[in-house]
Amino acid sequence: SGLPRKKSLMAKKKKSKRKQLTPEERQQRRLERLEARKQKKSKREKERRSNVNGLFDQLGSMLQVKDNKKGARLSILSAAVDKLKERKDGPDSIMEEDDEDYDNYK
């Protein structure tokens, strides 16, 4: 093409609009990011625990397990296993008779 290029625009290196940080400022920002990450992780873990506790409460309610605080989860899981064993042995079995995984845990 016969049009001349504008070399001055193409040859210029783009300058970053970000302020150049001192090592101390970089370290401070790094620490702030780490703290924010730690807080987010803590919040996610709290939500996860709340979800798990809610599911245990729901399962305990479905199985009519009395909540005795200490060992409640163990009681709930034990009742669930017993109920599944009853269902396995009953006419409306939810487990296959040849289920090796289940048989290993009897």
**Which tokens in the block code for residue 9?**
């625009």
What pLDDT is attached to residue 106? 47
The residue type at 45 = E
Q: How far is CA 91 from the centre of its chain?
A: 38
Tokens 């909540």 correspond to 67
What pLDDT is attached to residue 41? 98
Let me know if 79 is exposed, middle or buried by CB neighbors in 10 A (0-12, 13-18, 19+): middle
Q: How far is CA 57 from the centre of its chain?
A: 19
The phi and psi torsions of 21 (rounded to 5 degrees) equal: -95, 150
Q: Rounded distance, CA 102 to CA 84, Å?
A: 10
What pLDDT is attached to residue 88? 82
What pLDDT is attached to residue 10? 56
One digit per residue, the tens of pLDDT, for the chain of length 106 reads 566 666 555 556 666 677 899 999 999 999 999 999 999 999 999 999 999 999 999 999 999 888 767 788 999 999 999 999 998 887 655 555 545 555 554 4
Q: Which residues contact 67 (CB under 8 A, 6 or more apart)?
A: 60
What pLDDT is attached to residue 34? 97
Q: Rounded distance, CA 83 to CA 100, Å?
A: 18
What pLDDT is attached to residue 9? 54
What pLDDT is attached to residue 37? 97
